[in-house]
């Protein structure tokens, strides 16, 4: 049941996103579009409540409950940015908006960009880890919490990998090719 609800929440996220943007740009109803987009967080609240009720009713915590916590963490941390990313492209394609800004390719600007991306992913993993810890406390010492701890370890791995990737752009910045450089002065 939890996996089905996670899938439904993911599908619901994209349906609400498409519906909200269609109302905003195609139907020229920006307030209605914003209202639809604001319904998206209700999906995460629903998933959180159903997962908590499932655990409260005696379900053994397993990978599905961990996956629910991870999904919520990632949606909370990355959902808004995903909506902004899709919105910029939708506005450009269907409403004559400006072309989306491309990320920087070289040097310090690229390193800063990579740290911002890594920060979002690390925040997502931290939120998921916190939700997993809350589930562990909620279940208490009576339940089997090994699968929840395993998800926490995976989230620490996500944090570590993102830190390494961002640090690599800081320590070894990609340099602009010599032919692409603009002359000074």
* pLDDT (0 to 100) of residue 112: 97
Q: What percent of the chain has pLDDT over 90?
A: 81
* pLDDT (0 to 100) of residue 158: 97
Mean pLDDT of 161-169: 97
Three-class secondary structure assignment of the chain? CHHHHHHHHHHHHHHHHHHHHHHHHHCCCHHHHHHHHHCHHHHHHHHHHHHHHHHHCCCCCCHHHHHHHHHHHHHHHHHHHHHHHHHHHHHHHHHCCCCCCCCCCCHHHHHHHHHHHHHHHHHHHHHHHHHHHHHHHHHCCCCCCHHHHHHHHHHHHHHHHHHHHHHHHHHCCCCCCHHHCCCCC
Is 142's pLDDT higher than 80?
no
Mean confidence (pLDDT) of the chain:
92
Residue 163 counted as domain residue: yes
pTM of the model: 0.87
Residue 90 counted as domain residue: yes
Residue 184 counted as domain residue: no
Is 183's pLDDT higher than 70?
no
List, for residues 6-51, the tens digit of each pLDDT value. 999 999 999 999 999 999 999 999 999 999 999 999 999 999 999 9
Residue 120 counted as domain residue: yes
Domain count along the chain = 1
| Domain limits for position 123 | 2-175
């Amino acid at each position: 049941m939890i996996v089905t609800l996670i899938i439904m929440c993911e599908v619901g996220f994209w349906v609400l996103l498409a519906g909200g943007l269609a109302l905003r740009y195609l139907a020229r109803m920006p307030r209605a579009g914003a209202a639809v987009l604001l319904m998206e967080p209700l999906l995460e609240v629903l998933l959180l409540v159903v997962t908590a009720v499932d655990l409260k009713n005696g379900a053994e915590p397993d990978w599905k409950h961990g996956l629910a916590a991870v999904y919520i963490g990632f949606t909370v941390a990355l959902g808004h940015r995903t909506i902004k990313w899709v919105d910029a492209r939708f506005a450009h394609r269907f409403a004559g908006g400006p072309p989306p800004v491309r990320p920087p390719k070289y040097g310090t600007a690229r390193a800063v960009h990579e740290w911002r991306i890594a920060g979002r992913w690390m925040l997502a993993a931290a939120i998921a880890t916190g939700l997993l810890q809350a589930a562990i406390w909620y279940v208490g010492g009576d339940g089997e919490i090994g699968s929840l701890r395993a998800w926490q370890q995976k989230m620490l791995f996500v944090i570590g990998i993102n830190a390494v990737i961002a640090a690599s752009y800081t320590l070894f910045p990609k340099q602009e090719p010599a032919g692409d450089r603009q002359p000074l002065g």
